[in-house]
Amino acid sequence: MIKVPLQQIIEKIKETGLSEEEINSKIKEKTDQLSGLVSKEGAAHIIANELGIKLFEEPHGKLQIKNILAGMRDVEVVGKVQQVFPVNEFQKKDGSSGKVASLVVADETGTIRIVLWGGQTDLVKDLKEGDIIKVLSGYTKENNNRLEIHLNDKSKLELNPEGEKIGEVKQASSTRKKIEELSENDNDVEILGTIVQVFEPRFFEVCPECNKRVRQRDEGFFCEAHNVVTPAYSYVLNAIIDDGSETIRGVFFRKQAENLLEMDHSKILEYKDNPERFEEVKTELLGNIVRVVGRTNKNELFDRLEFVSRLVFPKADPKEEIKRLKAEGVTEAPSEAKPVEDQKTEEKPVVEEDSVVESSSAEEITDGVQKADVPKAEPEKTNEQGEKLPSFEDI
């Protein structure tokens, strides 16, 4: 079933002359009439049908990214490569292994992620940023509230096809929010605030081949894909961010921790056996203004929201941020942070698995004998073949 977002349905209905307030009133009336047994999207669908509004055209030929909807089949799209992510292996339900890779492409109307399964993953080794690709016979679905195009054995991906050109691409944008405005499951949101507290990085064992979390057994550290391995180490860093409206715990996994600290992997690993040396780093971070793009996650144990970073811009310039906000039509400047001494936070850090290279759900990471508080795991998703569907958060 093709899924049309609620706001897109409302925009279509507004073309009849109805105001958004009138449409929302009709939606509420319809959901009440059906005793709450229909969602707002379903009610809006019914209203559109009653008004004779065609919400979408069946896809024929090449689509612009802005016109792609969840549930479409035989999708054809052309885009310019923005990012290419490495191939990852995972375990299927029958115990065999599978492969998945992804890339982000853009055209003049938007950006979208392309997901490749099985033998299709071999195609990514030839791709680089700036290449133009053409996807044929893809299918679309939502993953963590993000629209994706998936390729299977029937799909095709053409590299730099003759005659296809892409103009200036539309970059993915995030919504700026104050911390007090954040809600559970917010995605692709951006906050700007001051770091007022920093915790030491937590290190955990990963497979050196696939970078997934490994567990210690009698025979050593075990990876589901590569059996007994000599582990490498990854890490997560937690910091309290204050924007004057509220505070929130920011969670920075490996790549984003490196960006925040402006250090490479080998440098951060030095603190694993010498945690006391990190005190100086913590002091230097305090008071820094950072811009962070990511998603909110509900920590059930402490009943609070946390912000999992996807992109971090350390040492953001407040003057430049104000200029950017004004250019985007936002008149209110970021608030000043509260003094550091006013912060009251638990000592125990929050940790979650890296969602691409580690796992698609949160798992425990222990520190000695004391367990760190763990965010609630997302429901497991599968593709059409029953294979476990990894989450594709950028790290």
Q: How far apart are CA 333 and CA 313, in angstroms?
A: 18
Distances (CA, A) of 71 to 74, 239, 379: 10, 39, 19
Q: How far apart are CA 3 and CA 42, in angstroms?
A: 10
φ/ψ of 207, rounded to 5, equals: -70, 130
Residues whose CB is less than 8 angstroms from the CB of residue 247 and which lie 6 or more positions away in sequence, other chains included: 179, 196, 240, 241, 338, 343, 345
- DSSP letters, 42-59, are HHHHHHHHHTT----PPP
Task: Give the range among 130-144, 185-199, 348-362 with minimum mean pLDDT.
Answer: 348-362
Task: Give the range among 55-69, 92-106, 305-319 with minimum mean pLDDT.
Answer: 55-69
Longest dimension (CA), the chain: 70
Question: Across the chain, what does the average pLDDT equal?
Answer: 78
Residues whose CB is less than 8 angstroms from the CB of residue 305 and which lie 6 or more positions away in sequence, other chains included: 182, 183, 184, 248, 296, 297, 298, 299
Task: Give the range among 86-95, 324-333, 357-366 with minimum mean pLDDT.
Answer: 357-366
pLDDT higher than threshold 90 for residue 38: no
Segment 121-138 mean pLDDT: 89
Q: Which of 49-63, 87-101, 160-174, 175-189 has the highest mean pLDDT?
A: 175-189
Nearest to 207, CA basis, from 188, 222, 186, 196: 222
Q: How far apart are CA 117 and CA 151, in angstroms?
A: 6
SS3 label, residue 85: strand
For 329, which DSSP code? Answer: T
Residue 67: what residue type? N
For the entire predicted model, the pTM comes to 0.57
Q: List the domain boundaries for the chain.
A: 6-50, 62-159, 175-378
Same topology, domains 62-159 and 175-378? Answer is yes
The domain 62-159 having CATH identifier 2.40.50.140: the answer here is yes
Task: Give the range among 121-125, 359-363, 387-391 with minimum mean pLDDT.
Answer: 359-363
pLDDT higher than threshold 50 for residue 322: yes
* Among the four given CATH numbers 3.40.640.10, 2.40.50.140, 1.10.510.10, 3.40.50.2020, the one describing domain 175-378: 2.40.50.140
Percent of the chain with pLDDT over 90: 31
Residues whose CB is less than 8 angstroms from the CB of residue 115 and which lie 6 or more positions away in sequence, other chains included: 100, 101, 102, 143, 148, 149, 150, 151, 392
Q: How confident is the model at residue 385 (pLDDT cuts 50, 70, 90)?
A: very low
Q: How confident is the model at residue 338 (pLDDT cuts 50, 70, 90)?
A: very low
Pairing of strands 62-63, 75-91: parallel
pLDDT tens digits, residue range 298-312? 888 888 899 999 889
φ/ψ of 335, rounded to 5, equals: -75, 160
Distances (CA, A) of 384 to 139, 141, 152, 249, 388: 11, 11, 10, 36, 10
Segment 62-91 mean pLDDT: 85
Nearest to 297, CA basis, from 250, 234, 241: 250
Structure tokens at 11: 């925009």
What pLDDT shows up at residue 210?
Answer: 75
96-131 burial code (b ≥16 CB/10 A, e <16): eebbbbbbbbbbeebbbbbbbbeebbebbeebeeee
